[in-house]
Structure 1
Amino acid sequence: MFNRTEAVNNLLALMRLQNSYIHELNKLIYAAATDLTLANNHEFTMFVDNFFEFAHYHYNSEGYSQAAQLVQIYHYILLERLLDSQVLVAAEQMELAIGHLEMVVREMQARFHPQIILLNQGILLMEETQLKIIESLEELLERSQPVPKLQN
């Protein structure tokens, strides 16, 4: 039997984990930004911009999820809107950020920079967590899908 409350609680746990990752990567970004080599690197600034956009959408999606839990609204339309308007957009921003970070890693000066190595490892953990969030939401949607009414 599908326990929707447990599924939503699991989703929120994943989103809280993602919050922890975001917080830690923010600290690394601020530390890396003090290095003028990185601060003046176009790809690094694009990574930071996309990462902050990702974080913005993630925080909005967590807010949607908490609202759904608090008022115990588990309607298909709300879940679908959460997936489309926040979680997938956040994932798109994360992918853009990853692309820019990969460009930074390719540059010789930044390749072995300790902050970049940590950012790269952290963003990979976040990507994995984001995938789990998407999969959890898709499962909730699949199991919450309204049954079409048969016409007489």
Structure 2
Amino acid sequence: MRISGSYQSLVILLTGIMLMACHPSPDKKVEQPGVKNTAKPKVVNQEDEVVNLILNLPEVKRKSAQVEKDSQGKRHLETYVETPPTAKDPNYWVKVAEDNGNSLVAYYIFAVHGKTHQISMYDEVNDSLKPLSKWREETPANER
């Protein structure tokens, strides 16, 4: 029994594809179990940069660790840009919130100036912004 030319070409092509699929690509990085990747991701855009500023605040790091500890690792804080700057407001509005299963509960609301990256804390009670340094001065560490 002789295989026709087109079937023979198909068999060779499929064999080649299967062989290539079995060899790992040299471009792929294989992560070792138990070894954490400590490389920081590149900042892709302005929103990522603003979120990283907030994530690196000591208050946010401390609150994040507290939420994870209190929930035994089941809950985490999410930090996201709720509103980007507009013509009327130059700030990125950034929330740090916990997903409690029903809704997001905000712990912090920050305003980050789009050009200067100056961080202010939103005071919900007075409906005003406070520079981060002033908020830190006026608010006891255990309440931040």
- For normalisation by structure 1, the TM-score amounts to 0.23
Which one scores higher on RCO, CA 8 angstroms, separation ≥ 6?
Answer: 1
Structure having the larger proportion of residues in strand = 2
- For normalisation by structure 2, the TM-score amounts to 0.24
Question: Looking at CA atoms only, which structure, 1 or 2, has the larger radius of gyration?
Answer: 2
